A and B are shown apart, each in its own frame.
Chain A
């Protein structure tokens, strides 16, 4: 296996790990209000 192949596989693995991190933490990275709190915001005060 050439040096370029090893580098390619390492970069590929790092990209895949970064994407898995984003997907696993999707609720923290893209927060939305809880459904009940969101529904309450439509109730006339």
Chain B
């Protein structure tokens, strides 16, 4: 059986061949991803620290309100968040989330936009860098807003879980499957729209050509899973080797993913 008849397999081979034939692209793509991860870590760490401080303060104040309300009607957790003395920290918490969203979006649009532009440049004749970046930012505003909303809901549920756990005096666990599914759908359409630079086309293609695109995403996931297994295995041998090889593997797979998805999307569009 000739598997290369299948687009998903044929482009899989084609993308790896393209990556090895364009070493300059692979190096540039890896460098951009590395700068993205480093900048993301350095810039967001102080904001995450501050968010953690606020979660602890808000959690303590709300659970104290719950504790002293024993015997009386307990306020709902969300109501308590917007009453004094908690409200000032709740507003600061929301402000911090807005700062975090802005910082991450600028970094994402600039560096991931550049990485997608590089991938497009090896697949077909791309737009100019500025035009591609502006198109990428315009398209990803929607996905980012949806992700920000998802993140806020997740953060509020986490906060609620902390408050309830403190009030009950025991750990409360639980994973929200619906939230994870929504995130998966957002990522699916966001990735399709990245080489197309169009939300309308991404929706049309993502639904109409799901028969090709979903298997392609399974192939991409398989690469990350395989990389994860290799890294875990290396971790049992040597931590330094695991870190170095893991980073290089991640950068290669990310560069390949963008080339592969650009090729697939271009073929089915």
Contacts and interface: CB of A to CB of B under 8 A. Distances in A.
To the question of whether A and B form a pair in one complex, the answer is yes
Interface of A: 4-5, 8, 12, 15-16, 19-20, 22-24, 26-27, 30, 32-33, 38, 42
Interface residues of B, number: 20
19 contacts: A8-B130, A8-B134, A15-B106, A19-B43, A19-B102, A22-B103, A23-B47, A23-B99, A23-B103, A26-B46, A26-B96, A26-B99, A27-B46, A30-B95, A32-B50, A32-B89, A33-B57, A38-B57, A42-B64
Nearest to B92: A30
Interface in B90-121: 92, 95-96, 99, 102-103, 106, 110
Contacts, number: 43
Contacts of B89: 32
A23 B43 contact: yes
A30 B46 CA distance: 11
Contact of A4 (B57, B92, B130): B130
Contacts of A33: 57
A4 B89 CA distance: 42
A33 B85 CA distance: 12
Contact of B50 (A12, A27, A38): A27
A2 to B, nearest CB: 8
Given A8-B130, A16-B106, A22 B54 contact: no
| Prevailing SS type, chain A contact patch | helix
Contacts of A4: 130
B103 A19 contact: yes
Contacts of B154: none
Contacts of B18: none
Contact of B110 (A12, A23, A24): A12
A22 B92 CA distance: 14
Interface on chain B toward A: helix, strand, loop, or mixed SS?
helix
The 6 A-B residue pairs with the shortest CB-CB distance in the complex, in nearest-first order = A30-B92, A26-B46, A32-B53, A8-B130, A19-B103, A26-B50
Nearest to A39: B60
A20 B43 CA distance: 8
A38 B89 CA distance: 13
B106 A30 contact: no
A42 B25 CA distance: 58
Contacts of A19: 43, 102-103, 106
Contacts of B50: 26-27, 30, 32
A12 B195 CA distance: 22
Contacts of A26: 46-47, 50, 96, 99
Given A19-B102, A19-B103, A30 B96 contact: yes
A11 to B, nearest CB: 11
